[in-house]
Structure 1
Amino acid sequence: MEIFPVQYSTLSALALGERVATVYNLPVTQCRYLLRGVSDTYVVTTTTGQYILKVYRDAHRSVAEINGELALLDALVSGGAQVVRPIANPAGERLLPLQAPEGLRYAVLFSFAAGRTLAGFSEAQLGIIGREMAFNHNITAVVQLPWPRKAYTHQTTVERPLSLLQPAFDEYPEGYALLQQTAARVAGKLAAYDTAKFNVGYCHYDYFPKNFFFDGEDKMTLFDFDFAGRGFLAYDLASIFIHFYFDTRYKQKPREQAKAEMDTIVAGYRQLRAISGEELEAIPLLAYQLLLFYLGFQYENFDDWSNFFFSTRFLKARLEEMEDIASEYCNL
């Protein structure tokens, strides 16, 4: 019987656990499916500890791009950064090929980050977030990767998302017109800065608290480099800015408190790395563009993830948030 074409399969956790045990010579006791995202994530438990197994999709990450992610992590680990590290099998290989129904997929085994995501941070932890980010940027600003990663430019953060999103606004054309207008105003204000002097390098581009853990001794570990690419390093501070913005909007955090916490992170950052006043002023503008990028990404991958929430109602709510950032923080 003919096998019908497959777009996105879910690989068996049990079979993956058996494959990891064989290929990596590990005493695996359990493999559990954790989440579906840009890659599929599994937690692998052994008698000696835990690991994370990420199964990539060619539709999102080519072999070259996966190697680019691993090369970036290698540079960070070699430089002493507190990040997860890719694990090689006894043969020294880190890419695990898997023949899935839709074609060849690759998996990578990573060290397990100790600790947990925190709902709020102490002043000491805020300083650590800033210093760890700056420490990483001191490495990623100068590293030259032999493999490609996404570049975050005006084309990829504004033009392409706007093009992708146009059909999503078929029932809300006035919303699309507003999105176009505000995106152009944000881009224009950003272009008024001397962005040629902005710090550039490989940013994480998803630097939200869900992607770093603190353990009981306040050691921070950063993970999930799926979106890491070359662009303004201040995009990582823009991710933190968005986190605090949502805290003020939905968790009743006073705006003054959010600003003070953001300032503490920036102060920690400046202990290890310089950042200009213009770059700090541009953070809300970069935050707007980051939200625009992810909105386009969510729509582009609707078929894969069945994003039932992606509706006209969702678009109106997200547009309201972005307009609020533009008016209240970008002064547009």
Structure 2
Amino acid sequence: MAHFPAQYSTLSAIALKNYIEAAYGLQLISCKFLLRGVSDTYIIEAIDAKYVLKIYREQHRSHDEIQAEVELLNLLKDGGANVVYPITAINGSHLQKFNALEGTRYGILFSYAEGAPVMDLNDDQLKTIGRQMAKVHNITSVVRLSYPRREYSIETTLINPIKSFEPAFNNLPDEYAYLKDMAGKVAQKLCSLDTANFSYGYCQYDFLPKNFHFDDAGNLTFFDFDFAGKGLLVNDLMSFFVHFFMHVYTGRLTDDEAGRMFAVFVAAYSETRALSDDELKAIPYLGVGFWIFYLGLQHEHFDDWSNLFFGVKFIKDRVGLIKVWVDKYCEGGFIEGVIV
């Protein structure tokens, strides 16, 4: 009997364990499904090491876009950056092809980032992140990938998402009007800045603590380059600042302490890579694009992620959060201690 068509299947962890053992010549102890997101993630444990297996969806990443991620991570690894990297199979390939119910899906076996995420960062850790992010940018500012990746621009982070998620705001006209008006103002502000002199290259665009680990010795490893794409490199500093904003928003940090901590990070970054005041001043406006871009992504992939949270309450709460960001940083000026 033919299988009924599927839009999203979950590949068997048992079958994947057998496949990975044969494809990579590994002796595996276990393969466990971890989470569903923009890709499906499995934790693989071998006799002497751990790995992460990611299974991509064509709706989210094309074959060429996945190849670009492989290429970027290999360039970063070869350049001495502390990142996870794709493992090469016995046949010399990095991508594995799976004939899933919904069609072809590709997988990559990655090295494992030892340690754990740290949400309450100390000054030494902030300095390490700053220096290591700058090291990543020294590489991504000069490389040119053979395969395409998305581009982060005014159109892709502001204009296009606003259009795409309009149907979700049918019963929230005031919230939609606010976002549309604010996106237009932010676009105008960014156009007024001399962004031609900003550093440009491949940014990770999700530099939150959930995407890097510190081990017991204080070593840092970056991972999860799912959203890496071409854009202003200060976008990565912006996405890292989102972490401090959320700590302030939830009452875990004061504005003054968030500003002090981000300034420690910025100073360490600047030891390795030049950063202009104008780039820092752009962070609040690029941050509006960050929030709107991910709101559009959540709407676009509602069915695939089973995003039960995406509803009226979530949208109203998210617009409220964006208003706080705008009032605090776009209207009120960026944080004391970084840009006065």
- Give the TM-score taking structure 1 as reference length: 0.98
Indicate whether 1:279 and 2:293 are aligned. Answer: no
Provide the C-alpha distance between the structure 2 equivalents of 1:240 and 1:62, rounded to a whole number of angstroms.
Answer: 27
Provide the C-alpha distance between the structure 2 equivalents of 1:119 and 1:242, rounded to a whole number of angstroms.
Answer: 12
Q: Indicate the residue corresponding to 1:72 in structure 2.
A: 72
Structure 1 position 10, deviation (Å): 0.4
| Contact 2:203–2:235 (CA under 8 A) maintained in structure 1 | yes
Provide the C-alpha distance between the structure 2 equivalents of 1:135 and 1:142, rounded to a whole number of angstroms.
Answer: 12
Structure 1 position 77, deviation (Å): 0.6
Q: Taking every aligned residue pair, what percent have the same amino acid on both sides?
A: 46
Structure 1 position 189, deviation (Å): 1.4
Provide the C-alpha distance between the structure 1 equivalents of 2:104 and 2:40, rounded to a whole number of angstroms.
Answer: 14
Provide the C-alpha distance between the structure 2 equivalents of 1:85 and 1:69, rounded to a whole number of angstroms.
Answer: 10
Gaps in structure 1 of 5+ consecutive residues: none
Indicate whether 1:25 and 2:25 are aligned. Answer: yes
Q: Indicate the residue corresponding to 2:7 in structure 1.
A: 7
Q: Indicate the residue corresponding to 1:216 in structure 2.
A: 216
Provide the C-alpha distance between the structure 1 equivalents of 2:308 and 2:55, rounded to a whole number of angstroms.
Answer: 23
| Contact 1:202–1:230 (CA under 8 A) maintained in structure 2 | yes
Q: Indicate the residue corresponding to 1:289 in structure 2.
A: 289
The amino acid of 2:31's aligned partner reads C
Q: Indicate the residue corresponding to 2:301 in structure 1.
A: 301
Q: Indicate the residue corresponding to 2:336 in structure 1.
A: none
Q: Indicate the residue corresponding to 1:44 in structure 2.
A: 44
The amino acid of 1:84's aligned partner reads V
Q: Indicate the residue corresponding to 2:260 in structure 1.
A: 260
Structure 1 position 266, deviation (Å): 0.5
Structure 1 position 3, deviation (Å): 2.1
Structure 1 position 2, deviation (Å): 3.3
Once the two structures are superposed, residues 214-253 of structure 1 have per-residue CA deviations (whole angstroms, 9 ceiling, x without a partner) of: 0111110000000000001011111111110010011331
Provide the C-alpha distance between the structure 1 equivalents of 2:252 and 2:29, rounded to a whole number of angstroms.
Answer: 43
Structure 1 position 186, deviation (Å): 1.4
The amino acid of 2:15's aligned partner reads A
Question: Any idea what SS the aligned residue of 2:330 has?
Answer: coil
The amino acid of 1:142's aligned partner reads V
Structure 1 position 296, deviation (Å): 0.3
Indicate whether 1:176 and 2:189 are aligned. Answer: no
Provide the C-alpha distance between the structure 2 equivalents of 1:167 and 1:257, rounded to a whole number of angstroms.
Answer: 39
Provide the C-alpha distance between the structure 2 equivalents of 1:251 and 1:59, rounded to a whole number of angstroms.
Answer: 37
Question: Any idea what SS the aligned residue of 1:113 has?
Answer: coil
Structure 1 position 184, deviation (Å): 1.0
The amino acid of 1:224's aligned partner reads D
Provide the C-alpha distance between the structure 2 equivalents of 1:174 and 1:287, rounded to a whole number of angstroms.
Answer: 21
Aligned length, in residue pairs: 332
Structure 1 position 74, deviation (Å): 1.0
- Give the TM-score taking structure 2 as reference length: 0.96
Q: Indicate the residue corresponding to 1:143 in structure 2.
A: 143
Q: Indicate the residue corresponding to 1:319 in structure 2.
A: 319
Question: Any idea what SS the aligned residue of 1:30 has?
Answer: strand
* 1:57-136 matched pairs, under 5 angstroms: 57-136=57-136
The amino acid of 1:19's aligned partner reads Y
| Contact 2:41–2:55 (CA under 8 A) maintained in structure 1 | yes
Provide the C-alpha distance between the structure 1 equivalents of 2:28 and 2:252, rounded to a whole number of angstroms.
Answer: 44
| Contact 1:87–1:94 (CA under 8 A) maintained in structure 2 | yes
Structure 1 position 91, deviation (Å): 1.7
* 1:179-198 matched pairs, under 5 angstroms: 179-198=179-198
| Contact 2:159–2:183 (CA under 8 A) maintained in structure 1 | no
Provide the C-alpha distance between the structure 2 equivalents of 1:153 and 1:282, rounded to a whole number of angstroms.
Answer: 13
| Contact 2:31–2:44 (CA under 8 A) maintained in structure 1 | yes
The amino acid of 1:15's aligned partner reads A
The amino acid of 1:17's aligned partner reads K
| Contact 1:205–1:236 (CA under 8 A) maintained in structure 2 | yes
Q: Indicate the residue corresponding to 2:335 in structure 1.
A: none
| Contact 1:71–1:145 (CA under 8 A) maintained in structure 2 | yes
Q: Indicate the residue corresponding to 2:229 in structure 1.
A: 229
Provide the C-alpha distance between the structure 1 equivalents of 2:323 and 2:187, rounded to a whole number of angstroms.
Answer: 14
Structure 1 position 61, deviation (Å): 0.7
The amino acid of 1:201's aligned partner reads G
The amino acid of 2:227's aligned partner reads F
Structure 1 position 85, deviation (Å): 0.8
The amino acid of 1:190's aligned partner reads L
Superposed CA RMSD in Å reads 0.9
Q: Indicate the residue corresponding to 2:331 in structure 1.
A: 331
Structure 1 position 29, deviation (Å): 1.0
Structure 1 position 292, deviation (Å): 0.5
Provide the C-alpha distance between the structure 2 equivalents of 1:75 and 1:50, rounded to a whole number of angstroms.
Answer: 22
Once the two structures are superposed, residues 71-95 of structure 1 have per-residue CA deviations (whole angstroms, 9 ceiling, x without a partner) of: 1011101100000010011221111
| Contact 1:186–1:326 (CA under 8 A) maintained in structure 2 | no
Indicate whether 1:200 and 2:200 are aligned. Answer: yes
